[in-house]
Copies of this chain bind each other. A is one copy, B any other.
Amino acid sequence: MAELVGNVLVGQSGGPTSVINASVAGIITEALNHECIEEVYGSLNGVLGILQEDLIDLAAQSQQQIRALKYTPGAALGTCRYKLKKQQDFERVLEVFKAHNIRYFFYIGGNDSQDTADKISKLAQQQGYELRVIGVPKTIDNDLSVTDHCPGYASAIKYIATSVREVACDNEAMGQGDLVSIVEVMGRSAGWLAAGAALAKRRDHPHDPPHIILLPEVPFNQEKVLEDIRRTLKREKFCQIVVAEGLVDADGNYVAADGSTDAFGHAQLGGAGDILADIIENGIPGVKVRVARPGLLQRCAAHAASKTDADEAFLAGEAAVEAAINGETDKMVTLVRGDSDQYKSETGLVPLSDVANSVKKLPREWINEDGISMNFQFLRYAQPLIQGEIAIPHDNGVPVFARLEKSRVDKVLPAYEV
């Protein structure tokens, strides 16, 4: 295979995670090991930055900043939810790639983003422009079907499990038989995040909080849930509930749909916790309900991130560069779990076309028959992912995160209207 000499472009897309920047760090670190790679650029705000030729020089960043990326939440390059639609947009992307001799394109994102990467790659092939495109997975939703798990998921559930265990201490102290505490977590179509709250339970303590996990996979049955709550209040004096924002009723309708949609046509949700609180207050007179909705904190709470997750995100970035250097293209890096009892993950590769828009469901057989708790299969899957803590440097009592120098790459093309 002929060596492909040229420049690297990295982009980040979709909602950030606590560890998406670790993948950028992995890509930069590995790219600098290869002489065929001349420049390492980042596009600001994903494909938007490509369309607008807003590129920065990543090789110019200090070592210190690259290292800090490993624990910096958000997306240091900026991200976007812009979806390339027009053929003209795709043509523009290639025009920009050609203008800056981009021969390696690494796109870090979820399934919509991998779909975009796939289309860019195919267009380059059609046009005979040699380009290697490798996707790097990220999403706290853990809904990419081709990988054992997604970088970003583990840190989100470590934060959720940590928070639930802490709130449980508070609830237990206050509980006198009438306290219900709800934590509303993200999870539009799958209960991966809500399920993660089960990690707050001690081993062999099934009655530990969270007492009730309400998943999108299990249609909401008001009478059953009220009965579950009454039983828990009797036994534990408080009842801690974790509810996924995407909870659905028996007809498959979102309990908390607000009628609007986002740029990708997905229903916008919010307030499942508050709606549930109303139902409980009406259904169990005299009960007090407290609702916490950590919202975006779930995907950026670096102070409770998983070291395993950050390490894997970095590894996935490195693996993407290695694959491209080895001639692979139109693939996404995956995380593959070893067969041994001792958890170990390696990276793999799958065609981008296998990734796009497929959704990984939380296996129904990992949910206990009660419909409100997770069994050992889920715990065996999730527990290894949240191991290890990251000591983030603090200054003046708050964490200090990376800030990339925005050393702009000179624009060479006329402006483009997005």
Give the contacting residue for A386; candidates B76, B299, B398; CB below 8 A.
B398
Contact (A161, B16) CB under 8 Å given A74-B172, A79-B174, A167-B297: no
Residues A1-38 near B (CB distance < 8 A): 12, 15-16
Kindly provide the distance from the CB of A345 to the nearest chain B CB, expressed in whole angstroms.
15
A78 contacts across to B, CB distance below 8 A: 172-174
What per-residue 1/0 map shows which CB atoms of A184-226 lie under 8 Å from chain B? 0000000000000001100100000000000000000000000
Output the least CB separation between A48 and chain B (Å): 8
Are A295 and B290 interface neighbours, CB within 8 A?
A: yes
A261 CB to closest chain B CB, in angstroms? 12
Chain B residues with CB under 8 Å of A297's CB are: 163, 166-167, 292, 294
Listed residue (A48, A79, A200) with the most chain B CB atoms within 10 angstroms of its CB: A79
Find out whether the CB atom of A303 lies under 8 angstroms from the CB atom of B162.
yes
Identify which of residues 149-197 in chain A touch chain B, using a CB-to-CB cut-off of 8 Å.
158, 161-163, 165-174, 176, 181
Residues of B with C-beta under 8 A to A350: none
Contact residues of A between 121 and 155, Cβ < 8 Å to B: none
Instruction: Kindly state the separation between the CA atoms of A45 and B179 in the bound complex, as whole angstroms.
Output: 14
Which residues of chain B are within 8 angstroms of A165 by Cβ–Cβ distance?
Answer: 398-399, 401
A389's partner among B81, B173, B383, B394 (CB-CB below 8 A) is B394
**Which chain A residues in 50-86 approach chain B with CB under 8 Å?**
72-81
A306 contacts partner chain B, Cβ-Cβ < 8 Å? yes
A199 touches which one: B166, B303, B397 (CB < 8 A)?
Answer: B397
Say yes or no: B80 contacts A176, CB within 8 Å.
Answer: yes
Count how many chain A residues have C-beta atoms less than 8 Å from C-beta atoms of the other chain.
64
Contacts A174-B16, A199-B397, A396-B199 given; does A166 touch B73 at CB 8 Å: yes
A200 to B162: give the CA distance in the assembly, Å.
Answer: 22
Q: Is A247 an interface residue (CB 8 A)?
A: no
CB distance from A304 to the nearest CB of B (A): 5
Which residues of A in the span 290-327 have a Cβ within 8 Å of any Cβ on B?
A: 290-297, 299-304, 306
Q: Which residue of B lies closest to A154 (CB)?
A: B397
A101 to B302: give the CA distance in the assembly, Å: 50
Distance to closest chain B CB from A363 (angstroms): 21
Closest Cβ of chain B to A387, distance in Å, is: 5
A348 contacts the other chain (Cβ, under 8 Å)? no
Complex Cα distance A168/B81, Å? 18
Closest chain B residue to A277, Cβ basis:
B270
Contacts of A387 in B (CB 8 A): 396-397
29 pairs, CB–CB < 8 Å, chain A vs chain B: A16-B174, A45-B176, A73-B166, A74-B169, A74-B171, A75-B174, A77-B173, A78-B174, A79-B174, A81-B174, A166-B300, A166-B302, A166-B303, A167-B297, A167-B300, A170-B296, A170-B300, A171-B296, A199-B397, A200-B398, A274-B274, A291-B293, A291-B295, A292-B293, A293-B293, A293-B294, A303-B303, A303-B304, A386-B397
Report, nearest first, the 5 A-B pairs whose CB atoms are least far apart: A74-B169, A292-B295, A386-B397, A75-B173, A170-B300
Enumerate chain A interface residues (CB-CB to B < 8 A). 12, 15-16, 45, 48, 72-81, 158, 161-163, 165-174, 176, 181, 199-200, 203, 270-271, 274, 290-297, 299-304, 306, 383, 386-389, 391, 394, 396-399, 401
